[in-house]
Structure 1
Amino acid sequence: MELIEEKPARAELQDKALAFAKVGIIFGLLSGFLWAWDGLLVELAHGYQPFNMDSAGLVFMVIAALCAGLHDFFAAIFVSAYNYKAGKLCEVGRSVVSKPGRIIILGSLIGASCGMGGYMAALQLVPAAYVMPITALYPGVAVVLAVIFLKESIKPLAWVGIAVCIVGAVVIGYTPSDADSARTATFTLGIIFAIVATIGWGAEGVCVTSGMDFIDPVVALNIRYIISSCFYICFLMACFLFVEFPIDASASMIVSSLMSSKGLLFMACAGVVGGITYVSWYRAMNMTGVSRAMALNISYALWAIVLSALFTEIDITMQLIFGAACIFVGSLFVIGNPKDMINLRNVD
């Protein structure tokens, strides 16, 4: 009798685990679609002052930090409101002082400085349709770190899928249009910043996933955005107070231009969309594993091409189409058979 009762109980647990994994997959796909919109909104913001200032050196860094700081500030407001409505805002303070909270803070600092900072700097130089596929390489970084620190079991088919995704991203990212080819130096620098973002986001994903074993994903996200906002506020204040700006790009000029800029609205919208994206991404990593969630998330490389074709003047080339197809097929390999998604830390 005990064996007969044990089998239905085990089947029920497996069904629950499968349902949990399926929800995680949905969150992963949603995060990819919304992140493509985030990139498009940031690119549109760069059509207005002060985000489109023709700058270099310190001013370039300040504008990139300003973009990243505003983005994460508006995202922090959205996520804080979300947690307040859910009755979880009080958990943020308690979680920060815990050991998992400190791990999330570390991931937040990496994600803010390298991830978001590199991303915004890249978008100042290169169209989103090229930047976003390059940043889609971050699962390659995350998988190596996840195997080392989270002890994830990655099967051969998943490795093949991730490799195909990376090939697709490389094909897209290293095939600029004729107009971009004339600015090879700028394009190359943009790609370098995109690679920095890739490394930052890969490391961030592993850190926050480890911390989310003990902290609610949305609470962890709230910590992430608060830490990121504080990081950029401190960086910008230090620049404005202690650094001498060029006469034609003073700190007061940047601030006054920002307050009257239409680009601020686009950046605010990007921040809210980014907040929703990260809610979906954090939940996907927590529910279905780092590698699988990130492979789903990099579908934004495909969506970025579609949205750029609809709302910008970018040329759709065969290289872009081929790269997008590689990313899609590679993601399918990583997802595997949903019936086998019982162990949520394994990718089949």
Structure 2
Amino acid sequence: MEQQAQSLLQKRDLAFAKKGVGSGLLSGAAWGLDGVLMGMVLGLAPFTNNMSIFAAPLVGACIHDGFAALWLFFYNVINGKWRDYARTLKTRPARIIMLAAILGGPIGMSGNLLGIYFAGASYTAAITAGYPAIGAVLGAIFLKEKISPRVWAGILLAITGSFIVGFVPPDGSNYPHFYLGITFAVISAIGWAIEGVLSTYGMDLVDSDIAIGIREATSFFVYLFAILPLAGGVSYQILTKSFSAPTGWYIAVIGLIGGTSFLSWYRAMNMTGVARTMGLSVTFAIWSVFFGWLLNNLQLTPNLIIGVVVLSLGTILTIGNPKDLLNLKIR
């Protein structure tokens, strides 16, 4: 009887872990699609305003995170968690999450969309997919975490992959500021890495659905009241015009895709573990190349394909033993 009960528990855990793997893959696919669609929308009016080359991507990031926060709030209302917002905001972990949100949103997301704007979605995704490797280095420096030889090998591969991707711009490029975009992509990866280090503590003490909602809401308000004023009055002109054109509402839908990615990410971590989830979700670089080719006529240059594969392998090595990704049983 005891063996039968144990067998049933193992089957339940295996099914639970498999669902977590599915959520991790969904997170990566959704984020890859999110980046490609945002790149396409940023090529439409009013984001093609030539008065400021920086304002358009920042306005796009503001709208994206605002709608992602809204969709996440609706999700939490449906699940009866809306009261937890006020309770959580009074705690110290919430303040840490808000600080992490500034690094991940106005710095990370801005760098991401500026990278997409100047270098294209797929090249930006390839670079930003290396953020876990950067996080591992930061964890070693600030959290005194030991780095094994496998992790160092992964970090080296990730850096090599990023170099391969960014060294040669695509042939016949429509991105005259390609290397500026690559620089912003690197800044994005650093911002997301620091966010991960900071949010680790907060996420342990706060419901992940609420933490994500606070993260996105904080990012939106910082954009609206701090970042856009720095970009000048043209940013608010673009913001206003975007909702008198279809583009603002396109981003509303893309924000739903982004919110789905965030929810799937944290659900996967709960179901199948952080290392496995990161190993699955960083496939957004590959998904971005696929969706870029499918939806936006992306040129599949050799350096892009090789770089994405090398960087993805390096990131997976950095965040977990590849054998663990094949072993779905929760230990």
Deviation at 1:85, TM superposition (A): 0.7
1:175 aligns to 2:168 (yes or no): yes
Name 2:32's counterpart in structure 1: 36
- Alpha-carbon distance, 1:108 to partner: 0.6
2:214 aligns with 223
- Conserved? CA contact 2:59–2:239, under 8 Å: no
* 2:288 matches 1:304: yes
Question: Which residue does 1:336 correspond to in 2?
Answer: 323
Which amino acid in structure 1 is aligned with residue 267 of structure 2? R
Counterpart residue type for residue 103 of structure 1: I
User: Alignment partner of 2:206: what SS?
Assistant: coil
**Aligned equivalents of 2:229, 2:43: Cα separation in 1:** 27
Q: Aligned partners of 1:143 and 1:14: how far apart in 2?
A: 32
Give the structure 2 partner of residue 192 of structure 1. 183
Secondary structure at the aligned position of 1:315 is classed as coil
1:103, 1:252 → 2: CA distance?
29
In 1, the alpha carbon distance for the partners of 2:12 and 2:155 equals: 27
Matched, 1:99 2:99: no
Shift in CA distance, 124/332, structure 1 to aligned 2, threshold 3 Å? closer
Residue 115 of structure 1: aligned partner:
108
Return 5+ residue gaps in structure 2 as ranges: none
Deviations 1:277-306 (Å, cap 9, x if unpaired)? 111223344555555433322211111111
Deviation at 1:21, TM superposition (A): 5.2
CA distance in 2, matches of 1:73, 1:215: 21
Which of 279, 302, 309 is the aligned partner of 1:295?
A: 279
- Separation in structure 1 between the aligned mates of residue 316 and residue 191 of structure 2, nearest angstrom: 25
Alpha-carbon distance, 1:214 to partner: 1.3
Residue 134 (structure 2) pairs with residue 141 (structure 1): yes
Q: Give matches, 1:1-348, under 5 Å.
A: 22-55=18-51, 59-147=52-140, 155-180=148-173, 183=176, 186-235=177-226, 238=229, 245=233, 250=234, 253-285=237-269, 288=272, 290-330=274-314, 333=317, 334=320, 335-337=322-324, 338-339=326-327
CA distance in 1, matches of 2:302, 2:235: 43
* C-alpha distance in structure 2 between counterparts of 1:26 and 1:158, whole Å: 25
Contact residue 120 and residue 175 of structure 2 kept, 8 A: no
| Local SS of the residue matching 1:336 | helix
Amino acid at match of 1:336: K
* C-alpha contact (below 8 Å) 2:107/2:191 kept by paired residues: yes
Alpha-carbon distance between aligned partners in 1 of 2:34 and 2:257, rounded to the nearest angstrom: 6
Query: Matched residue of 1:295: which SS?
Result: helix
- Describe the shift of the 1:237–1:188 C-alpha distance in structure 2 as closer, same or farther (beyond 3 A): closer
Structure 1 residues 206 and 74, CA gap change in structure 2 (3 angstroms): same
- Note if contact 2:59-2:228 (Cα within 8 Å) is conserved in structure 1: no
What TM-score, normalized by structure 2, do the two folds share? 0.85
1:13/1:121 CA distance change after superposition, 3 Å: same
Relative distance call for 1:151 and 1:291 in structure 2 (3 A) is farther
1:47-93 superposed Cα distances (whole Å, 9 cap, x missing partner)? 211212224xxx33432321111000110111011111111111121
- In 2, Cα distance between equivalents of 1:257 and 1:104: 32
Q: Which runs of 5+ in 1 are unaligned?
A: 344-348
Residues 47 and 218 from structure 1, CA distance in 2 versus in 1: closer, same or farther, beyond 3 angstroms? same
Tell me whether 33-42 or 116-125 shows the greater mean CA deviation.
Answer: 116-125
Q: CA deviation at 1:238?
A: 3.8
Partner residue of 1:346?
A: none
Contact 1:92 1:219 in 2 (8 A): yes
Q: Percent identity?
A: 36
Q: Is the 8 A contact 1:138 1:198 kept in 2?
A: yes
Partner of 1:51: helix, strand, or coil? coil
Q: Cα 1:151–1:341, aligned 2, differ >3 Å: closer, same or farther?
A: farther
Post-superposition offset of 1:328:
4.9
Q: Distance in 1 between matches of 2:118 and 2:60?
A: 13
Contact persistence 2:32–2:288 (CA under 8 A) = yes
